[in-house]
Structure 1
Protein backbone atom coordinates (compact mmCIF):
# COMPACT_ATOMS: atom_id res chain seq x y z
CA UNK A 1 0.00 0.00 0.00
CA UNK A 2 1.35 3.41 -0.97
CA UNK A 3 1.88 6.01 1.74
CA UNK A 4 -0.37 8.52 -0.05
CA UNK A 5 -3.66 7.75 -1.77
CA UNK A 6 -3.28 8.19 -5.53
CA UNK A 7 -6.08 7.80 -8.10
CA UNK A 8 -3.78 5.75 -10.36
CA UNK A 9 -2.52 3.42 -7.62
CA UNK A 10 -3.89 -0.11 -8.07
CA UNK A 11 -4.12 -0.36 -4.30
CA UNK A 12 -6.95 2.19 -4.44
CA UNK A 13 -8.78 1.01 -7.56
CA UNK A 14 -11.94 -1.04 -7.79
CA UNK A 15 -11.55 -4.52 -9.27
CA UNK A 16 -13.37 -6.84 -11.68
CA UNK A 17 -14.32 -4.10 -14.14
CA UNK A 18 -15.25 -1.76 -11.29
CA UNK A 19 -17.85 -4.12 -9.86
CA UNK A 20 -15.98 -4.89 -6.63
CA UNK A 21 -15.40 -1.88 -4.39
CA UNK A 22 -11.88 -1.39 -3.10
CA UNK A 23 -12.11 -0.99 0.71
CA UNK A 24 -9.32 1.61 0.84
CA UNK A 25 -10.91 3.70 -1.92
CA UNK A 26 -14.30 3.40 -0.22
CA UNK A 27 -12.77 4.54 3.08
CA UNK A 28 -11.09 7.54 1.44
CA UNK A 29 -14.35 8.71 -0.12
CA UNK A 30 -16.29 8.16 3.11
CA UNK A 31 -13.80 10.12 5.24
CA UNK A 32 -13.82 13.17 3.00
CA UNK A 33 -17.53 13.09 2.21
CA UNK A 34 -18.27 13.07 5.93
CA UNK A 35 -16.39 16.35 6.36
CA UNK A 36 -18.54 18.21 3.86
CA UNK A 37 -21.32 19.09 6.31
CA UNK A 38 -18.79 20.97 8.47
CA UNK A 39 -17.12 23.07 5.77
CA UNK A 40 -19.94 24.89 3.96
CA UNK A 41 -18.67 28.40 3.15
CA UNK A 42 -15.73 27.87 5.52
CA UNK A 43 -12.01 28.47 5.07
CA UNK A 44 -10.43 25.04 5.31
CA UNK A 45 -6.96 23.52 5.71
CA UNK A 46 -6.34 19.84 4.85
CA UNK A 47 -3.08 18.42 6.19
CA UNK A 48 -1.48 16.16 5.14
CA UNK A 49 -3.25 16.35 1.78
CA UNK A 50 -1.07 13.87 -0.15
CA UNK A 51 -1.79 14.01 -3.87
CA UNK A 52 -4.90 16.14 -3.34
CA UNK A 53 -7.29 13.40 -4.42
CA UNK A 54 -9.16 13.39 -1.13
CA UNK A 55 -8.98 17.17 -0.77
CA UNK A 56 -10.69 17.51 -4.16
CA UNK A 57 -13.71 15.68 -2.70
CA UNK A 58 -14.34 18.50 -0.23
CA UNK A 59 -17.28 20.51 -1.56
CA UNK A 60 -18.88 23.90 -0.86
CA UNK A 61 -16.01 25.37 1.16
CA UNK A 62 -15.21 29.05 0.69
CA UNK A 63 -11.61 28.05 0.01
CA UNK A 64 -9.26 25.18 0.80
CA UNK A 65 -5.50 24.90 1.23
CA UNK A 66 -3.96 21.44 1.07
CA UNK A 67 -0.56 20.99 2.72
CA UNK A 68 1.88 18.10 2.38
CA UNK A 69 5.60 17.65 2.98
CA UNK A 70 6.18 15.87 -0.36
CA UNK A 71 6.89 18.19 -3.30
CA UNK A 72 5.96 15.60 -5.96
CA UNK A 73 2.55 15.09 -4.34
CA UNK A 74 1.94 18.84 -4.22
CA UNK A 75 2.96 19.22 -7.87
CA UNK A 76 0.52 16.47 -8.86
CA UNK A 77 -2.25 18.03 -6.74
CA UNK A 78 -1.79 21.47 -8.27
CA UNK A 79 -1.73 20.05 -11.80
CA UNK A 80 -4.82 17.90 -11.28
CA UNK A 81 -7.05 19.74 -8.83
CA UNK A 82 -6.03 23.38 -8.36
CA UNK A 83 -8.83 25.91 -8.82
CA UNK A 84 -9.81 29.38 -7.67
CA UNK A 85 -10.99 27.89 -4.37
CA UNK A 86 -8.47 25.07 -4.00
CA UNK A 87 -4.69 25.31 -3.83
CA UNK A 88 -1.85 23.20 -2.53
CA UNK A 89 1.47 24.04 -0.92
CA UNK A 90 4.45 22.29 0.63
CA UNK A 91 4.61 22.31 4.40
CA UNK A 92 4.95 19.98 7.34
CA UNK A 93 2.90 19.19 10.38
CA UNK A 94 5.46 20.66 12.79
CA UNK A 95 5.27 24.10 11.18
CA UNK A 96 2.35 24.89 8.89
CA UNK A 97 3.77 28.24 7.68
CA UNK A 98 0.34 29.85 7.90
CA UNK A 99 -0.83 32.97 9.70
CA UNK A 100 -2.54 32.76 13.06
CA UNK A 101 -6.34 32.36 13.03
CA UNK A 102 -6.43 31.74 9.28
CA UNK A 103 -9.05 28.99 8.99
CA UNK A 104 -12.42 27.84 10.27
CA UNK A 105 -11.83 24.11 9.85
CA UNK A 106 -8.66 22.02 9.90
CA UNK A 107 -8.88 18.45 8.61
CA UNK A 108 -6.34 15.72 9.32
CA UNK A 109 -7.47 12.36 7.96
CA UNK A 110 -5.17 9.47 8.73
CA UNK A 111 -2.06 11.62 8.92
CA UNK A 112 -1.39 11.78 12.67
CA UNK A 113 -0.01 8.23 12.75
CA UNK A 114 2.53 9.08 10.03
CA UNK A 115 4.59 11.29 12.35
CA UNK A 116 6.35 10.82 15.68
CA UNK A 117 4.64 11.50 19.00
CA UNK A 118 6.69 14.69 19.39
CA UNK A 119 5.72 15.95 15.93
CA UNK A 120 2.12 15.02 16.69
CA UNK A 121 2.13 17.22 19.79
CA UNK A 122 3.66 20.09 17.82
CA UNK A 123 1.03 19.63 15.12
CA UNK A 124 -1.81 19.99 17.63
CA UNK A 125 -0.25 23.24 18.88
CA UNK A 126 -0.04 24.45 15.28
CA UNK A 127 -3.63 23.39 14.68
CA UNK A 128 -4.88 25.50 17.57
CA UNK A 129 -2.76 28.42 16.40
CA UNK A 130 -4.14 28.53 12.84
CA UNK A 131 -7.77 27.81 13.78
CA UNK A 132 -10.03 30.72 14.60
CA UNK A 133 -11.95 30.87 17.87
CA UNK A 134 -14.60 28.14 17.78
CA UNK A 135 -12.77 26.60 14.84
CA UNK A 136 -13.40 22.95 14.11
CA UNK A 137 -10.77 20.20 14.06
CA UNK A 138 -11.67 16.96 12.27
CA UNK A 139 -9.33 14.01 12.63
CA UNK A 140 -9.38 10.33 11.80
CA UNK A 141 -6.62 8.11 13.15
CA UNK A 142 -6.12 4.35 13.57
CA UNK A 143 -6.01 3.09 17.12
CA UNK A 144 -4.73 0.04 18.90
CA UNK A 145 -7.45 -1.48 21.04
CA UNK A 146 -6.49 -2.96 24.40
CA UNK A 147 -4.54 -6.13 23.72
CA UNK A 148 -4.24 -5.25 20.03
CA UNK A 149 -1.19 -4.86 17.82
CA UNK A 150 0.24 -2.37 15.37
CA UNK A 151 -1.41 -2.75 11.95
CA UNK A 152 1.92 -3.55 10.33
CA UNK A 153 1.70 -0.60 7.93
CA UNK A 154 5.35 0.48 7.54
CA UNK A 155 4.33 4.11 6.96
CA UNK A 156 2.69 4.37 10.39
CA UNK A 157 5.44 5.71 12.62
CA UNK A 158 3.30 5.52 15.75
CA UNK A 159 -0.13 3.97 16.18
CA UNK A 160 -1.77 5.21 19.36
CA UNK A 161 -3.41 3.02 21.97
CA UNK A 162 -7.03 4.14 22.16
CA UNK A 163 -6.88 5.65 25.66
CA UNK A 164 -3.71 7.60 24.88
CA UNK A 165 -5.12 9.18 21.73
CA UNK A 166 -8.42 10.12 23.36
CA UNK A 167 -6.61 11.78 26.26
CA UNK A 168 -4.41 13.82 23.91
CA UNK A 169 -7.37 15.01 21.86
CA UNK A 170 -9.56 15.84 24.85
CA UNK A 171 -6.68 17.72 26.48
CA UNK A 172 -6.40 19.96 23.42
CA UNK A 173 -9.97 20.41 22.14
CA UNK A 174 -13.55 20.60 23.30
CA UNK A 175 -15.00 17.31 22.02
CA UNK A 176 -18.09 17.72 19.86
CA UNK A 177 -18.26 14.16 18.61
CA UNK A 178 -16.20 11.01 18.72
CA UNK A 179 -16.87 7.63 17.17
CA UNK A 180 -15.15 4.44 16.13
CA UNK A 181 -15.47 3.51 12.47
CA UNK A 182 -14.65 0.39 10.52
CA UNK A 183 -11.41 0.17 8.60
CA UNK A 184 -9.72 -2.53 6.50
CA UNK A 185 -6.88 -2.63 9.06
CA UNK A 186 -7.01 -1.42 12.68
CA UNK A 187 -10.14 0.45 13.82
CA UNK A 188 -10.29 4.21 13.28
CA UNK A 189 -11.28 6.96 15.70
CA UNK A 190 -13.08 9.92 14.17
CA UNK A 191 -12.83 13.00 16.38
CA UNK A 192 -14.52 16.37 15.89
CA UNK A 193 -13.48 19.08 18.29
CA UNK A 194 -13.52 22.84 18.80
CA UNK A 195 -10.70 25.14 19.73
CA UNK A 196 -12.62 26.50 22.72
CA UNK A 197 -12.66 23.85 25.43
CA UNK A 198 -14.66 25.56 28.13
CA UNK A 199 -17.70 27.78 27.78
CA UNK A 200 -18.80 30.38 30.34
Structure 2
Protein backbone atom coordinates (compact mmCIF):
# COMPACT_ATOMS: atom_id res chain seq x y z
CA UNK A 1 0.00 0.00 0.00
CA UNK A 2 1.34 3.43 -0.97
CA UNK A 3 2.31 5.88 1.75
CA UNK A 4 -0.35 8.56 2.32
CA UNK A 5 0.76 12.13 3.12
CA UNK A 6 -1.88 14.34 4.74
CA UNK A 7 -1.66 18.13 4.37
CA UNK A 8 -3.82 21.01 5.55
CA UNK A 9 -7.15 20.80 7.32
CA UNK A 10 -5.97 22.14 10.68
CA UNK A 11 -4.46 25.23 12.24
CA UNK A 12 -1.43 23.15 13.22
CA UNK A 13 -0.38 22.52 9.59
CA UNK A 14 1.42 25.87 9.32
CA UNK A 15 0.44 26.37 5.65
CA UNK A 16 -2.55 27.75 3.77
CA UNK A 17 -4.31 25.50 1.26
CA UNK A 18 -7.36 27.02 -0.43
CA UNK A 19 -8.84 23.85 -1.94
CA UNK A 20 -9.05 20.12 -1.34
CA UNK A 21 -7.02 17.92 -3.68
CA UNK A 22 -5.85 14.32 -3.90
CA UNK A 23 -2.93 13.34 -6.13
CA UNK A 24 0.04 11.02 -6.43
CA UNK A 25 3.66 12.09 -6.12
CA UNK A 26 6.19 11.02 -8.79
CA UNK A 27 7.69 8.67 -6.19
CA UNK A 28 4.36 6.91 -5.67
CA UNK A 29 3.17 8.45 -2.40
CA UNK A 30 -0.47 9.52 -2.30
CA UNK A 31 -1.12 13.06 -1.05
CA UNK A 32 -4.44 14.10 0.44
CA UNK A 33 -4.82 17.86 0.91
CA UNK A 34 -7.69 19.35 2.88
CA UNK A 35 -8.58 23.01 2.75
CA UNK A 36 -6.78 24.70 5.64
CA UNK A 37 -8.78 25.67 8.72
CA UNK A 38 -11.86 23.65 8.03
CA UNK A 39 -13.96 23.69 11.23
CA UNK A 40 -12.03 21.73 13.83
CA UNK A 41 -13.84 22.72 17.00
CA UNK A 42 -11.39 25.46 17.94
CA UNK A 43 -13.08 28.72 18.97
CA UNK A 44 -11.70 32.13 18.08
CA UNK A 45 -10.20 31.35 14.68
CA UNK A 46 -11.46 33.53 11.81
CA UNK A 47 -10.75 31.74 8.53
CA UNK A 48 -11.88 34.64 6.35
CA UNK A 49 -9.48 36.95 8.21
CA UNK A 50 -6.60 34.53 7.67
CA UNK A 51 -7.20 34.19 3.92
CA UNK A 52 -7.72 37.94 3.44
CA UNK A 53 -4.43 38.76 5.18
CA UNK A 54 -2.45 36.24 3.14
CA UNK A 55 -3.96 37.41 -0.13
CA UNK A 56 -3.49 41.05 0.86
CA UNK A 57 0.28 40.58 1.07
CA UNK A 58 0.33 39.50 -2.55
CA UNK A 59 -1.77 42.47 -3.60
CA UNK A 60 1.10 44.59 -2.23
CA UNK A 61 3.49 42.62 -4.43
CA UNK A 62 1.08 43.10 -7.32
CA UNK A 63 1.49 46.88 -7.12
CA UNK A 64 4.98 46.44 -8.58
CA UNK A 65 4.06 43.89 -11.27
CA UNK A 66 4.05 44.88 -14.93
CA UNK A 67 3.36 42.73 -18.02
CA UNK A 68 6.34 40.62 -19.01
CA UNK A 69 8.15 40.95 -15.67
CA UNK A 70 9.90 37.88 -14.26
CA UNK A 71 8.63 37.51 -10.70
CA UNK A 72 9.95 35.13 -8.04
CA UNK A 73 7.74 34.13 -5.10
CA UNK A 74 10.04 32.55 -2.50
CA UNK A 75 8.75 30.80 -0.44
CA UNK A 76 5.58 30.26 -2.44
CA UNK A 77 3.79 27.84 -0.11
CA UNK A 78 0.80 26.28 -1.84
CA UNK A 79 1.21 28.60 -4.83
CA UNK A 80 -2.06 30.55 -4.81
CA UNK A 81 -0.18 33.78 -5.61
CA UNK A 82 0.29 32.54 -9.18
CA UNK A 83 -3.47 32.73 -9.65
CA UNK A 84 -3.76 36.10 -7.90
CA UNK A 85 -1.04 37.70 -10.03
CA UNK A 86 -1.70 36.08 -13.42
CA UNK A 87 -3.91 38.97 -14.57
CA UNK A 88 -0.83 41.22 -14.32
CA UNK A 89 0.72 39.44 -17.30
CA UNK A 90 3.85 38.44 -15.41
CA UNK A 91 6.11 35.39 -15.77
CA UNK A 92 5.75 33.75 -12.37
CA UNK A 93 8.09 31.35 -10.60
CA UNK A 94 7.29 29.92 -7.18
CA UNK A 95 9.90 28.17 -5.03
CA UNK A 96 9.47 26.18 -1.85
CA UNK A 97 11.30 23.39 -0.01
CA UNK A 98 8.30 21.16 0.72
CA UNK A 99 7.92 18.74 -2.20
CA UNK A 100 4.30 17.63 -1.55
CA UNK A 101 3.21 21.27 -1.28
CA UNK A 102 5.09 22.09 -4.49
CA UNK A 103 3.34 19.24 -6.28
CA UNK A 104 0.01 20.56 -4.99
CA UNK A 105 0.91 23.99 -6.41
CA UNK A 106 1.79 22.44 -9.77
CA UNK A 107 -1.56 20.64 -9.94
CA UNK A 108 -3.55 23.70 -8.88
CA UNK A 109 -1.79 26.71 -10.37
CA UNK A 110 0.72 25.81 -13.09
CA UNK A 111 0.14 27.49 -16.44
CA UNK A 112 1.89 28.80 -19.55
CA UNK A 113 3.48 31.60 -17.51
CA UNK A 114 3.56 29.98 -14.07
CA UNK A 115 5.98 27.31 -12.84
CA UNK A 116 7.10 25.89 -9.52
CA UNK A 117 10.58 24.71 -8.52
CA UNK A 118 12.29 23.43 -5.42
CA UNK A 119 14.01 26.11 -3.36
CA UNK A 120 15.48 26.31 0.14
CA UNK A 121 15.88 29.74 1.75
CA UNK A 122 18.90 28.46 3.67
CA UNK A 123 20.57 27.70 0.29
CA UNK A 124 18.76 29.91 -2.25
CA UNK A 125 20.94 29.12 -5.33
CA UNK A 126 19.40 31.77 -7.60
CA UNK A 127 20.68 32.83 -11.02
CA UNK A 128 22.33 36.26 -11.13
CA UNK A 129 20.27 39.15 -12.50
CA UNK A 130 17.32 36.94 -13.41
CA UNK A 131 14.29 38.63 -11.83
CA UNK A 132 12.54 41.99 -12.06
CA UNK A 133 10.67 41.45 -8.79
CA UNK A 134 11.08 39.10 -5.84
CA UNK A 135 8.53 38.54 -3.09
CA UNK A 136 9.63 36.98 0.20
CA UNK A 137 6.38 37.10 2.15
CA UNK A 138 6.02 34.99 5.28
CA UNK A 139 9.51 33.68 4.65
CA UNK A 140 12.51 35.21 6.37
CA UNK A 141 11.21 34.44 9.89
CA UNK A 142 11.13 30.72 9.03
CA UNK A 143 14.93 30.42 8.83
CA UNK A 144 17.55 30.74 11.54
CA UNK A 145 19.28 34.07 12.12
CA UNK A 146 22.52 32.86 10.53
CA UNK A 147 20.78 32.21 7.20
CA UNK A 148 18.90 35.52 6.96
CA UNK A 149 21.72 37.75 5.69
CA UNK A 150 22.86 35.23 3.03
CA UNK A 151 19.25 35.00 1.84
CA UNK A 152 18.99 38.78 1.43
CA UNK A 153 22.33 38.81 -0.41
CA UNK A 154 21.06 36.07 -2.73
CA UNK A 155 17.91 38.08 -3.48
CA UNK A 156 20.00 41.17 -4.29
CA UNK A 157 22.25 39.13 -6.58
CA UNK A 158 19.23 37.57 -8.34
CA UNK A 159 17.56 40.91 -9.10
CA UNK A 160 18.14 42.79 -12.31
CA UNK A 161 19.47 46.36 -11.91
CA UNK A 162 16.50 48.44 -10.77
CA UNK A 163 14.72 45.30 -9.57
CA UNK A 164 12.61 45.24 -6.41
CA UNK A 165 12.43 42.97 -3.37
CA UNK A 166 9.20 43.04 -1.34
CA UNK A 167 9.74 41.29 1.98
CA UNK A 168 7.78 40.92 5.21
CA UNK A 169 8.84 40.16 8.76
CA UNK A 170 6.64 39.88 11.88
CA UNK A 171 7.87 41.61 15.02
CA UNK A 172 8.63 39.39 17.98
CA UNK A 173 6.09 40.11 20.73
CA UNK A 174 8.95 40.68 23.19
CA UNK A 175 10.17 43.65 21.14
CA UNK A 176 13.57 41.99 20.79
CA UNK A 177 14.86 39.89 17.91
CA UNK A 178 14.58 36.27 19.02
CA UNK A 179 12.90 32.94 18.19
CA UNK A 180 9.13 33.21 17.74
CA UNK A 181 7.16 33.20 20.98
CA UNK A 182 3.67 32.94 19.48
CA UNK A 183 4.34 30.83 16.38
CA UNK A 184 6.21 27.54 16.56
CA UNK A 185 7.23 27.79 12.89
CA UNK A 186 9.11 31.10 13.31
CA UNK A 187 12.80 30.39 13.93
CA UNK A 188 13.94 34.02 14.20
CA UNK A 189 11.73 37.11 14.35
CA UNK A 190 13.27 40.56 13.98
CA UNK A 191 12.45 43.84 15.63
CA UNK A 192 12.12 46.94 13.47
CA UNK A 193 15.69 48.18 13.90
CA UNK A 194 17.30 44.80 13.21
CA UNK A 195 15.09 44.23 10.15
CA UNK A 196 16.13 47.60 8.72
CA UNK A 197 19.82 46.99 9.52
CA UNK A 198 19.64 43.59 7.81
CA UNK A 199 18.16 45.04 4.61
CA UNK A 200 20.33 48.17 4.56
CA UNK A 201 23.48 46.06 4.86
CA UNK A 202 22.74 44.71 1.36
CA UNK A 203 20.53 47.31 -0.29
CA UNK A 204 21.51 50.93 0.30
CA UNK A 205 19.44 52.41 3.14
CA UNK A 206 18.09 55.10 0.81
CA UNK A 207 16.65 52.32 -1.36
CA UNK A 208 14.70 50.65 1.47
CA UNK A 209 11.18 51.80 2.37
CA UNK A 210 9.60 50.32 5.48
CA UNK A 211 5.91 50.01 6.32
CA UNK A 212 4.69 49.02 9.79
CA UNK A 213 1.30 47.32 9.96
CA UNK A 214 -0.57 46.46 13.13
CA UNK A 215 -3.33 43.96 12.53
CA UNK A 216 -5.57 41.51 14.32
CA UNK A 217 -4.66 37.93 13.44
CA UNK A 218 -7.19 35.18 12.72
CA UNK A 219 -6.69 34.11 16.34
CA UNK A 220 -7.81 37.53 17.62
CA UNK A 221 -4.29 38.49 18.75
CA UNK A 222 -2.90 41.92 17.83
CA UNK A 223 0.32 41.64 15.84
CA UNK A 224 2.90 43.95 14.27
CA UNK A 225 4.39 43.11 10.89
CA UNK A 226 6.97 45.00 8.86
CA UNK A 227 6.88 45.21 5.07
CA UNK A 228 9.89 46.50 3.17
CA UNK A 229 10.28 47.55 -0.45
CA UNK A 230 13.94 47.34 -1.45
CA UNK A 231 15.21 48.56 -4.80
CA UNK A 232 18.48 47.47 -6.38
CA UNK A 233 20.42 50.41 -7.79
CA UNK A 234 20.68 50.69 -11.56
TM tier relative to shorter chain:
0.7 to 0.9
Residue 230 of structure 2: SS of its match in structure 1? strand
Q: How much has 1:191 moved relative to structure 2?
A: 0.3
1:71 aligned residue (99, 122, 128): 99
CA distance in 2, matches of 1:105, 1:177: 15
Q: Distance in 2 between matches of 1:136 and 1:94?
A: 21
Tell me, in whole angstroms, the C-alpha distance in 1 between the residues paired with 2:174 and 2:144. Answer: 21
Asked if structure 1 preserves the Cα contact closer than 8 Å seen for 2:167 and 2:227, the reply is yes
**Secondary structure of 1:160's partner?**
coil
1:129 aligns to 2:157 (yes or no): yes
Contact 1:146 1:162 in 2 (8 A): no
Correspondence 1:116 to 2:127? no
Other-structure match for 2:75: 48
| Contact 2:102/2:117 (8 A) holds in 1 | yes
Alignment of 1:161-172 (within 5 A): 161-172=191-202
CA 1:146–1:166 in 2, change beyond 3 Å: closer, same or farther?
farther
The answer to whether structure 1 residue 80 and structure 2 residue 112 are counterparts is no
Structure whose alpha-carbon radius of gyration is higher: 2
Q: What CA deviation, in whole Å up to 9, does each residue of 1:98-153 have, x standing for no partner?
A: 32111000100011000011111111111011111111000111013674794410
Aligned pairs, number = 190
Distance across 2 between alignment mates of 1:136 and 1:171:
16
Q: What TM-score do you get using the length of structure 2 for normalisation?
A: 0.74
Q: Which moved more, 1:38-47 or 1:162-171?
A: 162-171
Q: 2:185 aligns with which of 149, 155, 164?
A: 155
Q: Does structure 2 retain, via aligned residues, the 8 Å contact 1:145–1:162?
A: no
CA distance in 2, matches of 1:39, 1:100: 20
How large is the RMSD of aligned CA atoms in angstroms? 2.2
Q: 1:51, 1:147 → 2: CA distance? A: 30
1:91 shift after superposition: 1.2
Aligned to 1:79, what secondary structure does the other structure show? helix
Structure 2 residue runs of 5 or longer lacking an equivalent are 1-10, 19-34, 40-45
1:100 counterpart = 2:128: yes
Give the whole-Å Cα distance in 2 for the aligned partners of 1:147 and 1:123: 23
CA distance in 2, matches of 1:67, 1:105: 14
Correspondence 1:173 to 2:203: yes
Given the alignment of the two structures, is residue 25 of structure 1 paired with residue 36 of structure 2, yes or no? no
Q: Which runs of 5+ in 1 are unaligned?
A: 13-19
Partner of 1:191: 228
